Amino acid sequence: MKYFIVAGRLRSRAACRHWLTCIRECNLSQSATSHALQRLRKLLNDELLTRQGGSMRPTPVAMRLVGALRPALGQIAAALNERESFDPATSTRTFVLRISEYLAPTLLAPLCTLLRRIAPEVRLVVLPIGMPEMRGIEPGEIHIRAERGRRNSARPTSKTLFEDEFAVMMSASHPAAGDTMTLDRYVSLRHLKVTADAVGTNMIDEALGRLGLSRDVVMSVPSWFEIRRVVAETDMIAAVPRHWMMDPTLIAGCVCHHLPLSAVVLSVDLTWHQSDVDDSGEIWLRDVLVQLLKPQTEAGA
Is the CB of residue 66 less than 8 Å from the CB of residue 7? yes
Where residue 195 sits, what CATH number does that domain have? 3.40.190.10
Find the angle CA(249)-CA(254)-CA(259) to the nearest 5 degrees. Answer: 105
**Is residue 80 a part of any domain in this protein?**
yes
**Is residue 61 a part of any domain in this protein?**
yes
User: 117 and 145 share a domain?
Assistant: yes
**Is residue 117 a part of any domain in this protein?**
yes
Is the CB of residue 98 less than 8 Å from the CB of residue 275? no
Is the CB of residue 166 less than 8 Å from the CB of residue 199? no
**Domain limit, last residue, from 62, 84, 106:** 84
User: 209 and 152 share a domain?
Assistant: no
Q: What is the pLDDT of residue 196?
A: 59
**Domain limit, last residue, from 61, 84, 107:** 84
The end-to-end CA distance of the chain, in Å, is 50
Q: What is the pLDDT of residue 301?
A: 46
Instruction: Return the exposure string of 33-49: e unless at least 16 CB atoms fall within 10 Å of the residue's CB, then b.
Output: beebbeebbeeeeeebb
Residues of the chain with pLDDT under 70: 1-28, 54-55, 70, 73-84, 130-135, 150-155, 196-200, 295-301
Return the number of other C-beta atoms located less than 10 Å from residue 118's C-beta: 12
**Is residue 266 a part of any domain in this protein?**
no
**Is residue 218 a part of any domain in this protein?**
yes
Number of domains in the chain: 3
Find the angle CA(24)-CA(25)-CA(26) to the nearest 5 degrees. Answer: 90
Strands (E), the chain: 49-52, 55-58, 94-99, 123-128, 141-148, 158-164, 166-171, 190-194, 216-221, 237-241, 254-258, 266-272
Q: Quick: pLDDT tens for 14-44.
A: 444 455 555 555 566 777 777 877 888 888 8
Of 237, 236, 239, whose CA–CA distance to 224 is shortest? 239
**Is residue 264 a part of any domain in this protein?**
no
Where residue 283 sits, what CATH number does that domain have? 3.40.190
User: 112 and 143 share a domain?
Assistant: yes
User: 282 and 141 share a domain?
Assistant: yes
Is the CB of residue 10 less than 8 Å from the CB of residue 43? no
User: 230 and 108 share a domain?
Assistant: no
Q: What mean pLDDT, rounded, does the chain reach?
A: 81
Q: What is the pLDDT of residue 174?
A: 98
Q: What is the pLDDT of residue 80?
A: 58
Of 194, 195, 166, 159, whose CA–CA distance to 268 is shortest? 159
User: 196 and 244 share a domain?
Assistant: yes
User: 64 and 132 share a domain?
Assistant: no
Is the CB of residue 137 less than 8 Å from the CB of residue 275? no
Phi, psi of 240 (to 5 degrees): -125, 155
User: 129 and 183 share a domain?
Assistant: no
User: 78 and 99 share a domain?
Assistant: no
**Is residue 263 a part of any domain in this protein?**
no
Say what the pTM is.
Answer: 0.66
Is the CB of residue 156 less than 8 Å from the CB of residue 111? no
User: 126 and 174 share a domain?
Assistant: no
User: 111 and 236 share a domain?
Assistant: no
Return the number of other C-beta atoms located less than 10 Å from residue 285's C-beta: 23
Distance CA 280, CA 2 (A): 24
User: 99 and 153 share a domain?
Assistant: yes
Q: What is the residue range of 17's domain? A: 2-84
**Is residue 187 a part of any domain in this protein?**
yes
Is the CB of residue 61 less than 8 Å from the CB of residue 27? no
